Amino acid sequence: MSATFISSLNFAGRQIVIYGGIFVFIVGILGGLFNTIVFLSLRTFRQSSCAFYLTIMSIMNIVQLLTTTLSRIISNVYNNDGTDASLFYCKFRFYLPVVCIIISLTCFCLATFDQYCATSSRLYLQQLCNIKLARRLVMIFSLIWILHGVPFLILFEHVSSPITGKITCTLTNVIYMQYRAYVIFLLFFSLLPLLVGTIFGSMAYYNTQQLAHYTLPLIRRELDKQLTTMVLVQVAVSFFVLLPYCIVYILTLNTSLNSDPIVKAEIQLSSNITVIIYYLYFAVNIDL
């Protein structure tokens, strides 16, 4: 009975990943392309530092959907992610998504901070909102995250099972496994963006309520309001998609819960559901 129940949960989890992933993938690719075109085609957005952050975020989201989401769909359809066939793909399959996800989340954090500064009454904060600084910050952070992900290219290896002989793509360093689990996945992928987005998004919202009292040009006020609205919607979306992933991921790290096969299968099903919800962050593109 328990074996049948566990098998049913595993089957349900795969179907959720396949069909939910297909929906997220299609919507995300189309929305990301549309978002990028809009930001690059309108001059008012091309000169805005916040719009620049959102443009880079949209591009990274598209790459993430093409790598992680599509790969997860295919691996659940064929029950094989293809990493056993090529060592290069084994390494690159885990390296590129991590870099894209962190760059996307960094741009999201920078966009919320940028709008807090843009809507502030303090002149020195407003001066931080310029396209040159935005380009430099994106280049610096991108370089940091590209180098930060290099251990993925080094430590992921093909490991052959002594019993079945099956080859799997696995991290070979125990310390880095812990760093990946607690720092990259838990902190960088969820907790930190949630904290930064919520804090600066809330302060930006408060600032927009005071814009009418600032001696700013009308066009500047309206642009700031529009961009702030876009950022705040993204903050709300991020909160509702990142938080469930964070909670369930913490449960997966609890080894005592995973000792029970049924509980482990239930957590795995929850993990599949929250991963698809997490991918919505990369699929939801706000254009107002």
- In this structure, is residue 220 part of a structural domain? yes
pLDDT band of 210, cuts 50, 70, 90: low
- In this structure, is residue 66 part of a structural domain? yes
Give percent helix, percent strand, percent coil of the chain, each to the nearest 5.
80, 5, 15
Count CA atoms within 13 Å of residue 178 on its CB side: 2
Residue 79: phi and psi, rounded to 5, are 55, 35
- In angstroms, the CA 219 to CA 153 distance is 47
Contact between 2 and 10 (Cβ < 8 Å): no
Lowest mean pLDDT across 1-5, 63-67, 130-134, 143-147: 1-5
- pLDDT, position 225: 65
pTM of the model: 0.88
- pLDDT, position 99: 95
Question: Which tokens go with 165?
Answer: 């002989």
- In this structure, is residue 225 part of a structural domain? yes
Q: Which residues, other chains included, contact 172 with Cβ-Cβ below 8 Å and sequence gap of 6+? A: 155, 156, 157, 159
Above pLDDT 90, what percent of the chain?
25
Q: Span 57-74, mean pLDDT?
A: 89
Task: Provide the domain count of the chain.
Answer: 1
Residue 288 has pLDDT above 50, yes or no: no
- In this structure, is residue 288 part of a structural domain? no
Residue 212 has pLDDT above 70, yes or no: no
Residue 282 has pLDDT above 90, yes or no: no
Residue 63's alpha-carbon distances to 31, 216, 219, 283, in angstroms, are 13, 38, 34, 11
Q: Which residue has the higher pLDDT, 100 or 78?
A: 100
> The domain spanning residue 9 has which CATH number?
1.20.1070.10
> What is the C-alpha R_g of the chain?
21
Residue 220 has pLDDT above 60, yes or no: no
Q: Which residues, other chains included, contact 31 with Cβ-Cβ below 8 Å and sequence gap of 6+? A: 283, 284, 285
Lowest mean pLDDT across 19-23, 91-95, 149-153, 242-246: 242-246
Give the tens place of pLDDT for each residue, 122-163: 888 888 888 999 999 999 999 999 999 999 999 988 888 777
Query: Residue 18's closest CA among 98, 101, 75, 80?
Result: 75
Query: Residue 69's closest CA among 25, 14, 11?
Result: 25
Count CA atoms within 13 Å of residue 280 on its CB side: 20
Query: Which residue range(s) make up the domain with 77?
Result: 1-283
- pLDDT, position 169: 84
Residue 219 has pLDDT above 60, yes or no: no
- In this structure, is residue 84 part of a structural domain? yes
- In this structure, is residue 266 part of a structural domain? yes
